[in-house]
């Protein structure tokens, strides 16, 4: 279609249907005989009546796990349950196929001490209390017949659910970890996430295809007003996070040596985002006086620093991985190489003194990361309660949505890392570094690998070791120490990582640092970056139209509904007679994605539109025609 022409090249509209993914199902055959389908069922539809089984995949390695139950010498299909079930049958589990999955003669040597016992001849064998959780060799055929002793057509490893460790990646899990954290179906995203990403990509494609700012918009239908409102909020939250992370990456890219600290980060991200004043300033017009404008800019810089600090926490949002998971950010710590090289300083510190410089650095980084990922960080200027309240007031006074706090939002207070349990009256978020904590288990696992005297970390000796280690790092100025009331009503030490020691470094786009504390593994794991979001965060949004979503439902008042429709139409001109659009106003004030209930099917003038999206299957064909018919009017194909 030629620009400005009302003649379309195609006499029909293009319709694309996107199905929500779920599980993938296979027969038990291996190789070319295996049948694969996305359709649930009991049997493959042929004369052989082969059962089909749901498959899930290891989040650590991507290896398939077949969901099965053992019933009277047969493997029968079972559905995957992402949440661990206390009443889960002991016959429920997974069948794992592969020659190199589990080798008892080798792998038993790498398991934690609590998992094995040592015979008189020095051989490691499974501990009787853990035996049921170990892989068991199982023979089977394509019909589901199975045996632990009689060879059959195929063989694999059966593991009881819930998994306590993943043998494909050598990863250990806590008893409370849900199955959905360890394994995933082929499609585990929700409709809100799918709709948001689809809308986001469509708008980006319209931009890249050269559509005018006025025409870069999307109408999305859903069947109830609650979903429309939820979807608009979901989209705006997603765009805000993406925009911020892209700004952090761009700031690092332009920084000297690709490194920023807390004192320079806020200003650098502010310059990288290059936001017009009307996008963030909470006043009608941009100030004429430079010092007044500078006050608003500095407030936004502080706001961006707080958002960047919050983004340092451990990310459990699998559908929105952070910059570290995309290999675009590497967090390091000031002067760490120097303190690692001080052999004399570590001479009286067990475990640490037995490590070479490279291994010592990895160990200390893991400990510092543990504090940082739990948001146990300290700053007198930013993170004490009185300063947090002051910043909240400033942000609400000087900034406007989306670059400000939500109505009921409070800036998160930092947590502390403690050794002793705290009294219930203590209003501090806290995480343990005790012997049974994930940090404690990691240290014990490392101690067993470097052949330290086992008594070093037993009983109260662990408490002595961890306090000496943390205070060594405190002496090196990495930690801040204060006291809190313990469960026994005594003053006990708690610790935080000093904010000035954190360095933001530009990642190489390829290397993702593993988390050896939360994902302990006896196999060499090399996490890979999420390539989709890596490319999303690499985009430059400084010259793009600001993507904002709105909701259009019958619940809106007349004035709010008219404002919503006006912002979606965005018929704003500098010179209407010559059809010269007000690009700046359209860029910053228009609505790009409008999520609506069926109120938008008829009777509302929304102007030209190229794309309509439907989140749900409409009730009938007439509804489908009405909704799809909103696109392509007035020559928009």
- Residues 299-342 have pLDDT tens digits of 999 999 999 999 999 876 667 899 999 999 999 999 999 999 99
E-assigned strand segments in 150-261: 154-160, 165-166, 171-172, 183-184, 218-221, 259-260
pLDDT tens string 133-178: 899 999 999 999 999 999 999 999 999 999 988 999 888 887 778 8
Which residue in 45, 92, 41, 32 sits closest to 67, CA to CA? Answer: 92
Check residue 432 and give its pLDDT.
94
Is 193:234 a contact under the CB 8 Å cutoff? yes
Judged by average pLDDT, the poorest of 86-100, 136-150, 187-201, 338-352 is: 86-100
Check residue 87 and give its pLDDT.
54
Is 69:55 a contact under the CB 8 Å cutoff? no
pLDDT tens string 457-500: 888 899 999 999 999 999 999 999 999 999 999 999 999 999 99
Please state the rounded mean pLDDT for residues 570-593.
85
Q: Measuring CA to CA, how many Å separate 568 from each of 196, 278, 402, 483, 604?
A: 17, 18, 18, 55, 12
Question: Cα separation of 152 and 135, whole Å?
Answer: 18
Give the whole-number percent of the chain exceeding pLDDT 70: 94
Question: Cα separation of 242 and 248, whole Å?
Answer: 10
- H helix or E strand, kind and range, residue 304: helix 290-310
Which residue in 530, 514, 535, 504 sits closest to 326, CA to CA? Answer: 530
Handedness of CA 530, 534, 537, 539 (dihedral sign): negative
Check residue 519 and give its pLDDT.
80
Question: Cα separation of 352 and 365, whole Å?
Answer: 12
Which residue in 88, 29, 87 sits closest to 53, CA to CA? Answer: 29
Which residue in 567, 550, 629 sits closest to 230, CA to CA? Answer: 550
Q: What is the mean pLDDT of the chain?
A: 88
pLDDT at 1 over 50: no
């Amino acid at each position: 279609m030629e620009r400005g022409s009302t003649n379309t090249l195609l006499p029909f509209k293009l319709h694309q249907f996107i199905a929500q993914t779920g599980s993938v199902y296979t027969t038990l055959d291996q190789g070319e005989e295996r049948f694969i389908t996305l359709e649930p069922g009991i049997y493959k539809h042929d004369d052989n009546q082969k059962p089909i089984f749901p498959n899930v995949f290891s989040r650590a390695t991507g290896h398939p796990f077949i969901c099965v139950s053992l019933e009277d010498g047969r493997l029968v299909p079972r559905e995957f349950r992402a949440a661990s079930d206390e009443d889960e049958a002991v016959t429920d589990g997974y069948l794992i196929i592969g020659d190199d999955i589990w080798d008892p003669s080798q792998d038993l040597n790498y398991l934690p001490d609590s998992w094995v016992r040592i015979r008189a001849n020095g051989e490691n064998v499974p501990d009787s209390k853990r035996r049921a959780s170990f892989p068991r060799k199982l023979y089977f055929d394509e019909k589901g017949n199975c045996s632990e002793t009689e060879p059959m057509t195929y063989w694999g490893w059966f593991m009881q659910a819930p998994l306590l460790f993943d043998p494909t990646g050598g990863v250990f899990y806590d008893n409370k970890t849900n199955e959905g954290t360890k394994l995933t179906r082929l499609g585990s995203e929700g409709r809100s996430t799918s709709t948001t990403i689809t809308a986001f990509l469509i708008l980006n494609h319209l931009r890249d295809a050269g559509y005018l700012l006025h025409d870069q918009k999307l109408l999305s239908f859903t069947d109830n007003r609650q979903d429309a409102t939820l979807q608009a909020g979901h989209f705006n939250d997603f765009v805000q996070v993406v925009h911020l992370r892209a700004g952090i990456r761009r700031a690092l890219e332009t920084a000297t040596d690709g490194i920023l600290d807390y004192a320079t980060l806020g200003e650098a991200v502010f310059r990288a985002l290059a936001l017009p004043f009307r996008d963030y300033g909470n006043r009608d017009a941009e100030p004429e006086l430079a010092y007044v404008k500078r006050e608003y800019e500095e407030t936004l810089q502080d706001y961006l620093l707080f958002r960047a600090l919050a983004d340092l926490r451990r990310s459990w949002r699998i559908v929105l991985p952070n910059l570290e998971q995309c290999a675009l950010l590497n967090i390091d710590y000031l002067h760490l190489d120097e303190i690692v090289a001080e052999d004399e300083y570590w001479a009286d510190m067990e475990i640490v003194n037995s490590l070479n410089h490279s291994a010592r650095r990895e160990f200390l980084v893991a400990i510092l990361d543990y504090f940082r990922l739990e948001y146990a960080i300290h700053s007198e200027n930013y993170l004490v309660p009185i300063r947090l309240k002051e910043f909240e007031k400033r942000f609400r006074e000087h900034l406007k949505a989306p670059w400000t706090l939500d109505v009921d939002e409070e800036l998160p207070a930092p947590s502390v890392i403690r050794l002793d349990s705290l009294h219930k009256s203590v209003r501090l978020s806290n995480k343990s570094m005790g012997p049974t904590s994930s940090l404690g288990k990691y240290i014990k696992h490392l101690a067993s690998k470097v052949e330290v005297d086992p008594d070093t970390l037993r009983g109260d000796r662990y408490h002595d070791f961890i306090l000496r280690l943390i205070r060594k790092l405190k002496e090196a100025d990495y930690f801040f120490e204060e006291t809190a009331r313990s469960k026994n009503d005594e003053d006990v030490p708690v610790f935080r990582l000093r904010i000035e020691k954190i360095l933001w470094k530009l990642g190489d786009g390829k290397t993702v640092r593993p988390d050896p504390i939360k994902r302990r593994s006896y196999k060499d794991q090399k996490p890979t970056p999420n390539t989709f979001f890596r490319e999303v965060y690499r985009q430059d949004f400084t010259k793009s139209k600001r993507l904002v979503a709105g909701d259009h439902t019958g619940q809106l008042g007349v004035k709010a509904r008219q404002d919503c429709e006006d912002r979606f139409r965005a018929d704003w001109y500098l010179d209407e007679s010559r059809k010269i659009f007000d690009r700046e106003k359209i860029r910053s004030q228009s609505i790009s994605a409008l999520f609506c209930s069926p109120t938008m099917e008829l009777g509302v003038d929304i102007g030209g539109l190229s794309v309509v999206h439907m989140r749900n299957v409409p009730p009938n064909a007439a509804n489908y025609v009405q909704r799809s018919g909103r696109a392509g009017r007035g020559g928009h194909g």
